[in-house]
Chains A and B, each alone.
Chain A
Amino acid sequence: MSYCKQQGKDKIIFVTKEDHETPSSAELIAEDPNDPYEDQGLILPNGEVNWNCPCLGGMASGPCGEQFKSAFSCFHYSEEEVKGSECIEQFRTMQECMQRYPELYPQEEDEEDKQSNRNAAEGEEQPSPASS
């Protein structure tokens, strides 16, 4: 059983699990997916990539930012059967850049990129990973 007490201007309610099992009657206003003020996710409403998405970390803003943007854009707009298979060059350029900054783009991230490379182009020889 829930109970409630009042301490001056502050109200305190204790609730049990059962009290909160019934669905809430509080109404929330429906979200507008095209709200220009809201922070957008990775893909903007117009279909473009949101380079400022916090989810990308510093990938689009670092020294290899331009290479990353071109590789990822190519991948994003790719219409090939194996998505991004025509973007090998951009990914390779990006990887070369990232290998110059091992501090920023640690080995594990390189592994992820290689994984996406492998997915993008089957059977293609992958460059050997730089020594950590």
Chain B
Amino acid sequence: MDRSHPQHQVLHMRRSLFDQGYIDKEQFIQLEELQDDANPNFAEEIVTLFYTDSARLIQNIEQILVNRPIDFARLDDILHQFKGSSSSIGAKKVKEACTQLREYCCAENAEGCTRTLQLVKQEYAVLKRKLETYFQASISLYL
């Protein structure tokens, strides 16, 4: 088959997302399976929702870490949500970074939190980029 076939490209991207551990395969496939006639772009919609929500959460976390004294309890709540949403779409690396951040939060280690937050942001940015590319490419499949 033609390698440059859009379908192949998309599939290839998918596979690399999975293989590289950015996205949890089963979870993502589950999302895609939820797509149907009523929800043709469910996976993409969810992911888009994830972007906005994550941006908000990250911003909240940053604010918390800037304030003194640091509200670790609230940070834990926010992380709970962040972890939940990232795992819902299968954002593996982001989720792992969140887990790490939570550990520092539980230990009330402000510096650890700040450092790990950077990691979270980084993973999030990478994932977002990859997913956006992936979905753009997938659209071409429907064209």
The judgment on whether A and B are partners is no
- Which residues does B use to contact A, with CB under 8 Å? none
